[in-house]
Structures are given as structure tokens and as C-alpha cells.
Amino acid sequence: MAGSGRILGWKLDRSDRERLLGRFRPRYDETVADHVTLGRAGTAPEPWAAEAEIVGRADDGNGVEALVVRMDGTTDRPDGSTYHITWSLDRSKGRKAQESNDVLRARGWTPLAEPIPLRLHPSAWEG
């Protein structure tokens, strides 16, 4: 089935998540703020213990908000997209977390004044 299979990436540390939710209030009704995707098992490398920091923010103004993450010095994922955390969504408009990639590709992102260190845990989950 399309869209199924194991996803590889990093889960956001729970205490960092709470701290960041206080700093970046989600704009849309559904708060995601859960993980950084690396890719699908079989096409992406295994996630590693990476140095991570939030370096930017993107919001299309129509239901998708994301925080851009720099992993070991780069925001570029191996598949050519951008490392990010989908922060919030407006599901009433039919928006989905996967659309964060499209928003970042089409609209870019706004850098933060200072990077914010982030603790991430290598993980895998069904998606």
C-alpha cells in the first residue's frame, strides 16, 4: 500500500518539545512537533547520533508550519529535501505533514537570529 512502511529518522526529545512549544506557539489547530524524517527504510541510511539545531521556520499561511533543522552542519537531507519538524497543521483544510517538504521547496524558510540546540533520538516508526 502506498505510504506504508518503516520511516527512519529522529524523535524529538520530550523536554525539548515542551520547551520549544513554549517558544514557538503552533499556528494551526493540530500540533505535530514530533520528529525529523530521514527517509524510508531501504532507501535511506540508518539514523545516527547527530548534532542538531533549529535554524529556521516556514509557514505557508494556509495550514502548514515547519521548523527547519540543521543536522551535523547541513539542512539538506540525502534525498534533496530539507531536514525539518512539521510543527502544526490545519487538517480542516486537508493539510498533511508530508506537505512540509513542498512548502519548504516552493517557499523556502526564514532563518532564526540564533540556532537553538535540539536533542533528537535515532528512531524508526511505521508510516
Residue percentage of the chain with pLDDT more than 70: 97
Query: Quick one: pLDDT band at residue 1, thresholds 50, 70, 90?
Result: very low
Q: Please say if the pLDDT value at position 33 is more than 60.
A: yes
Instruction: For residues 94-118, give the mean pLDDT.
Output: 96
Distance (Å, whole) CA 71 – CA 23: 21
User: Domain extents for the chain?
Assistant: 26-39+49-121
Distance (Å, whole) CA 89 – CA 99: 10
3-state secondary structure the chain: CCCCCEEEEEEECHHHHHHHHHHCCCCCCEECCCEEEEEEECCECCCCCCCEEEEEEEECCCCEEEEEEEECCECECCCCCECEEEEEECHHHCCCCCHHHHHHHHHCCEEEEEEEEECEEEEEEEC
Q: Please say if the pLDDT value at position 4 is more than 60.
A: yes
49-87 pLDDT, tens digit per residue, is 999 999 999 999 999 999 999 999 999 999 999 999 999
pTM for the whole thing?
A: 0.93
Query: Quick one: pLDDT band at residue 5, thresholds 50, 70, 90?
Result: confident
Ramachandran angles phi, psi of 28, nearest 5°: -110, 165
Distance (Å, whole) CA 61 – CA 23: 19
